[in-house]
């Protein structure tokens, strides 16, 4: 089956520190999406990357799609307590499927 791995599984940071999570796929992806799940909530869409080497920014969040379209990263600059949650990448290999990564749970210590 589809393998989308994320590292690290858990990350604890001091408020104000940066945070990065990495996503790796065993197969080439048509696009990649990122989601955030707050504690007790459901995953909510953040962004979609389609092009090889694409970089997108949302305020303090920077998303990158690898040149080979097999990996991606999410970087948060100067974390805040509101960033707490689990971040998932999700890859599409076909038109209709959507396989999620294992997720990175971020804890921000005030």
Partner 1 sequence: DVKVTQSSRYLVKRTGEKVFLECVQDMDHENMFWYRQDPGLGLRLIYFSYDVKMKEKGDIPEGYSVSREKKERFSLILESASTNQTSMYLCASSSTGRRAFFGQGTRLTVV
Tokens coding 42: 């459901």
Does residue 62 belong to the site contacting partner 1 (CB under 8 A)? no
With 0-12 / 13-18 / 19 or more C-beta atoms within 10 angstroms meaning exposed / middle / buried, residue 59 is: exposed
Taking CB under 8 A as the criterion, the residue among 21, 32, 36, 43 binding partner 1 is 43
Contact at 8 Å (CB) between 106 and 84?
yes
Among 9, 58, 80, 81, binds partner 1 (CB under 8 A): 9
Residues that bind partner 1 (CB under 8 A): 1-2, 6, 9, 31, 33, 35, 42-45, 48, 88, 90, 92, 95-103
């Amino acid at each position: 089956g589809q393998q989308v791995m994320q590292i690290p599984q858990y990350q604890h940071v001091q408020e104000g520190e940066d945070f990065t999570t990495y996503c790796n796929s065993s197969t080439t992806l048509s696009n990649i999406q990122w989601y955030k799940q707050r504690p007790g909530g459901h995953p909510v869409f953040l962004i979609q990357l389609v092009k090889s080497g694409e970089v997108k920014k949302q305020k303090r969040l920077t998303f990158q799609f690898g040149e080979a379209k097999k990996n991606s990263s999410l970087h948060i600059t100067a974390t805040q307590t509101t960033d707490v949650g689990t971040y998932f990448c999700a890859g599409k290999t076909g038109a209709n499927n959507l396989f999620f990564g294992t997720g990175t749970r971020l804890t921000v210590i005030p």
